[in-house]
Amino acid sequence: MKAAVRTTYGPPEGVLVADVDEPVIKNHEVLVKVHVSTVNRTDCGFRSGKPSIVRFFSGLTKPRATVLGSEFAGVVEAVASGVTSFEVGDKVFGFNEDRFGAHAEYMAIAEDAALATMPANVTFEEAAASTEASHYALVMIRDAKIRSGHHVLVNGGTGAIGSAAVQILKGLGATVTAVCDTEHMELVRGLGADRVIDYTAQDFTKDEQAYDFVLDAVGKSSFARCKPLLKPGGIYLSSDLGPWNLNPILALTTRLFGGKKVRFPIPPKRDQAAVKSTKEMMESGTFTPVIDRRYPLDQIAEAYRYVETGQKIGNVLISVVPTS
Ligand SMILES: NC(=O)c1ccc[n+]([C@@H]2O[C@H](COP(=O)([O-])OP(=O)(O)OC[C@H]3O[C@@H](n4cnc5c(N)ncnc54)[C@H](OP(=O)(O)O)[C@@H]3O)[C@@H](O)[C@H]2O)c1
């Protein structure tokens, strides 16, 4: 089968499309014929081996996973013995952060991993783009117990996580102020944001409105800068480790005292419940992933380069099965 392979940590040029053996499924695993995958920030981190902490999970000196690709949508090609929830021919989607492998024509995944049948009302492209960022957004929103009536500022309303967060928060009934650049203000309003701040015209940390939560979805702020925006007891959330990797440490230390806090939840692995939540949100129309560009598998290095500009809007797709 055709796959995007790398054998060392390094730049996008190290990812080469080659012919490799199809994965062999073991008990309780499913073989998926991948139609669409994405290149996301997790793929970039595990490809480059930066930040270094990722090497504790993926191999200290060289990567264990030679084929990256976490998010996928496709069709079940085969099931191993013991599989009870999926059948050959099912359209499925999910993310495979345990093993990766979706930048290939076929991928193996455990039946109990982050895998579900696709909602009937979405395309392979929408399904592939829907899972990982909405998972991270949901983990933060649920951990902070954000609900109807809360006022939330989302920094980076155009990113994959930010655009999912804006929609999920609106679905919960929160009031959302989102921050993005001039060019994307209409897009973010269209996602449901009640108010949009253009970061090229205004420093959002100087905003006069007070918020119950500040959710930085692009890692472009810090707790110290955002603290004045928070109401007493307000919470700062971030999808990023933050300056000097301080966010996880601040999440521990601010718990010891009263007042404003940082939360940095560690997302659970193998989260089938997350994919099912995403499926429900897509079926009910409360969440549709934002799609930026599409690249064929052969041009995956170009996709990596684009994602690493930090300027993608929502999600970047890899078409494994060419669309006619
Ligand atoms: N916790 C985890 O395990 C995990 C997993 C995946 C990703 N992450 C982290 O989460 C962050 C977001 O990932 P992502 O894939 O959602 O991001 P992304 O899609 O790559 O974000 C790109 C967007 O950021 C916006 N942006 C750039 N500079 C900005 C600024 N100064 N202020 C506000 N918006 C700005 C750009 O829009 P404009 O054109 O509007 O500026 C662009 O749309 C990254 O830091 C990533 O490392 C964490």
Q: For 11-61, what is each residue's pLDDT tens digit?
A: 999 999 999 999 999 999 999 999 999 999 999 999 999 988 889 989 999
Asked if residue 312 has its Cβ within 6 Å of ligand 1, the reply is yes
pLDDT digits 0-9 by tens, 190-237: 999 999 999 999 999 999 999 999 999 999 999 999 999 999 999 999
- Averaged pLDDT for residues 123-142: 97
C-alpha 165 – ligand 1 centre gap (Å): 12
Please report which confidence band the pLDDT of residue 324 belongs to, taking 50, 70 and 90 as the band edges: low
DSSP-assigned letter for residue 84: -
C-alpha 134 – ligand 1 centre gap (Å): 13
The C-alpha angle 68, 274, 242, rounded to 5 degrees, equals: 65
Asked if residue 70 has its Cβ within 6 Å of ligand 1, the reply is no
Residue 68 dihedral angles phi and psi, to the nearest 5°? -85, -165
Average pLDDT, the chain: 96
Give the range among 15-19, 231-235, 268-272, 287-291 with minimum mean pLDDT: 268-272
Residue 312 dihedral angles phi and psi, to the nearest 5°? -70, 150
C-alpha 81 – ligand 1 centre gap (Å): 40
- Higher local confidence (pLDDT), 307 or 268: 307
C-alpha 155 – ligand 1 centre gap (Å): 9
DSSP state string for 252-300: HHGGGSSS-EEE-PPPPSS-HHHHHHHHHHHHHTS----EEEEEEGGGH
- Averaged pLDDT for residues 78-99: 97
Asked if residue 179 has its Cβ within 6 Å of ligand 1, the reply is yes
pTM: 0.96
Residue 217: what pLDDT? 98
Residue 184 has pLDDT above 60, yes or no: yes
**Which ligand 1 atom is nearest residue 156's CA?**
34
Residue 277: what pLDDT? 96
**Which ligand 1 atom is nearest residue 219's CA?**
45
Interatomic CA distance for residues 164 and 133, integer angstroms: 7
Q: How many CA atoms lie within 13 A of 147 on its CB side?
A: 1
For atom 7 of ligand 1, the residue with the nearest CA is: 41
Asked if residue 39 has its Cβ within 6 Å of ligand 1, the reply is no
